[in-house]
Amino acid sequence: MGPQTRYAFDVDETKAVTLTIGDRARAWLELSRGSNLPTVWSNVLHGMGAGHYVLIATHGGPEYVETMTRNPLWYLDQGFMLLVGMSFIYVAGMVLNDVFDAKDDAIHRPARPIPSGRVSRVRAGAVGALLLTTGVAVTAVYRCAAVPVLAGFLALCVLAYDLLHRVKLLGYLLMPLCRALVVMTAALAFGPTGGGLWLLHVGGAAAVLAIYTAAITLTAWAEHRGDPRRKQRTVAGMIAGMPLIDAAFLAWIGHWPLAAASVGCAVLTAIWQRRVPGT
C-alpha cells in the first residue's frame, strides 16, 4: 500500500468518510492535541529533577546537592516509563474529552475530528480507554508503590474532568489538579515525600503550575466569545509557555541542563502548534 491508500470507516454507524493516511494521522493528532505533549514532558522532567534534588538534600545534606547528576540522559533513562505513562494519560484525556463532547462539538466545533467524521467516536473511546489504563500500568515499574497509586488517581481526575467539566467549578478545579499531579507523581518516583524541601520544591511548583493551568482553563472557557481565532492563539501561547515555568524552577535548584530541556519543550510546542493547533 502506498501513501495514498484510502480508508473508509463508520462514524457512530451513521456515516463514513475516506481519508488518506496523512489525513488520518492528522485527525488523530488533532484529537489528541499532540502538539501539546512537550508540555507534559517538561512537567515530568521538572518533577524528576525536583524529586531527586530533595532526595540528595534530605539524605545527604545540602552540601551533597552538588553530587546530584546533571546529565539529562540519566533522567531520560531512569524516567522513560514515567514519560511514557504520563504521555499516555494526557493523550487519553484529550481523546476521551472529545468522545464525551462529540454532540456539543457537532454544534459548536463541527470541524473537530469526531463530528466531522474523520475519526469514529467508538474507536476513539476504545483507544482512549486503552491509553489511560496503559499509562497507569507502566508506572508500576517504580519501586515506590505510591507512584502507580498517584498515577491512578491522576487518571481518575482526568476521567472526571472529561465527564464533568461542563460543570464549570469542577472543570476549573480538576484540570489544574491534573497538571499538579503530573509533577508530584514524577517527584515521588525520584525522591521522598514530606518535609519543608518537598513542600517548597515540589508542592510549591505544583501549586504554581496549577494556578497557571487555571488561568489557561478560564481563558479557554471564553473561546466562544469575541474573536475565536485570537482566543485560540492566546490559549495556545499560554500552553506553550508552561514549560518555561518548569525551566524556572529547575534553574532555581541549579539543574541547568534540565532547565534547558524544558525551554526546548516550549519551543517544540510552539513549532508543533503551527501544524496542529494547541487547544
Residue 8 lies in a domain: no
pLDDT, residue 13, reads: 43
Residue 9 lies in a domain: no
Residue 211 lies in a domain: yes
Residue 6 lies in a domain: no
pLDDT, residue 193, reads: 74
Give residue 206's domain range.
Answer: 27-273
Q: Which segments of the chain are extended strands (E)? A: 6-11, 15-20
CB atoms within 10 A of CB 122: 15
Residue 68 lies in a domain: yes
Task: Say which CATH number the domain at 152 has.
Answer: 1.10.600
The x, y and z cell numbers of residue 233, run together, are 492563539
pLDDT > 90? residue 277: no
pLDDT, residue 63, reads: 63
| C-beta of residue 215 within 8 angstroms of C-beta of residue 238 | yes
276: CB partners within 8 A, 6+ apart: 26, 29, 30, 33, 34, 35
Whole-angstrom distance, CA of residue 224 vs CA of residue 77? 43
Question: Looking at residues 203-224, what average pLDDT do you find?
Answer: 86
Question: Looking at residues 135-144, what average pLDDT do you find?
Answer: 94
* Proportion of the chain above pLDDT 90, given as a percent: 55
Global pTM exceeds 0.85: yes
Whole-angstrom distance, CA of residue 195 vs CA of residue 198? 5
| Number of structural domains found in the chain | 1
Whole-angstrom distance, CA of residue 276 vs CA of residue 34? 7
